[in-house]
């Protein structure tokens, strides 16, 4: 399942680079199997945590999507497994599934390579220190994380913010609703 799965969100079409696949917000709970339609199966014990990030920008520029799976993107810390749009450059609540996830490769979203090796990286488009994330983003995030928890057997405690690992200044920012997400996750 490489390439485009089809992108429709709220009646809008969004251009998606061919290295990315997508799951629309409405389809995520019912069609979450697409998140697990992988080129390489998930190995038992492969993942030990899910790390939540923000983009640090109010919109998702085309160059970000173009770099996300490239070696240059790795050097810039953009090696995420998933990106969730906010309607600014990427559909509101649209979940982008990167080749990195499809191939079950390590992320490049945490500075500590040992941590990054087993960490699934999810990036929310937006600036969590400046404005709240959209309701659709948070709904898609919760559905995605629950699906990943089911596939990887990770408990709620294994879902962390980047700031939990890297300290103040790292995302997803002060407007990220930690308690709200925690209530929606699997124990």
- Chain segment 116-175, per-residue pLDDT in tens: 899 999 999 999 999 999 999 999 999 999 999 999 999 999 999 999 998 878 889 999
Rounded to whole angstroms, how far apart are CA atoms 46 and 28?
A: 23
Q: What is the helix, strand, coil percentage profile of the chain, to 5?
A: 30, 15, 55
Residue 176 to residues 34, 83, 131, 173: CA-CA distances in angstroms?
A: 26, 16, 9, 6
Q: Output DSSP code: residue 107.
A: P
Confidence of residue 23 (pLDDT cuts 50, 70, 90): low
List, as one string, the DSSP characters of 35-47.
GG--SSPPPTT--
- Are 51 and 119 in contact by the 8 Å Cβ rule? The answer is yes
User: Residue 184 region, left (φ>0) first, then alpha (ψ -120 to 50), else beta?
Assistant: alpha
- Give the dihedral of Cα atoms 130, 28, 144, 169; nearest 10 deg: -10
**pLDDT class of 66 with cuts at 50, 70, 90:** confident
Supply 14's token pair: 């969004």
User: Residue 55 above 80 pLDDT?
Assistant: yes
Q: What percent of the chain has pLDDT over 90?
A: 49
Please write down the long-range contacts of 1-9, taking CB distance under 8 Å and 24 or more positions apart.
1/34, 1/37, 1/38, 1/39, 1/102, 2/39, 2/99, 2/102, 5/34, 7/91, 7/94, 9/85, 9/91, 9/92, 9/93, 9/94
- Name the CATH architecture for the domain at 21-184: 3-Layer(aba) Sandwich (3.40)
pTM for the complete prediction? 0.81
Separation CA 52–CA 119 (nearest Å): 10
């Amino acid at each position: 399942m490489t390439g485009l799965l089809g992108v429709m969100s709220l009646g809008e079409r969004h251009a998606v680079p061919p290295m990315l696949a997508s799951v629309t917000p409405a389809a995520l709970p019912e069609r979450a199997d697409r998140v697990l339609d992988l080129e390489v199966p998930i190995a038992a014990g492969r993942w030990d945590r899910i790390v939540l990030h923000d983009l640090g920008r109010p919109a998702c520029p085309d160059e970000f999507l173009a770099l996300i799976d490239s070696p240059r993107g790795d050097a810039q810390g953009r090696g995420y497994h998933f990106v969730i749009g906010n309607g600014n450059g990427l559909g509101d609540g649209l979940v982008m599934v990167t080749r990195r996830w499809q191939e079950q490769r390590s992320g490049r979203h945490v500075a500590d390579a040992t941590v990054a090796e087993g960490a699934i990286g999810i990036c929310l488009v937006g600036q969590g220190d400046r404005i709240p994330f959209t309701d659709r983003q948070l709904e898609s995030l919760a559905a995605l994380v629950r699906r990943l928890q089911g596939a990887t057997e990770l408990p709620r405690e294994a879902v962390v913010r980047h700031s939990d690992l890297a300290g103040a200044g790292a995302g997803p920012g002060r407007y990220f609703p930690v308690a709200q997400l925690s209530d929606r996750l699997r124990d």
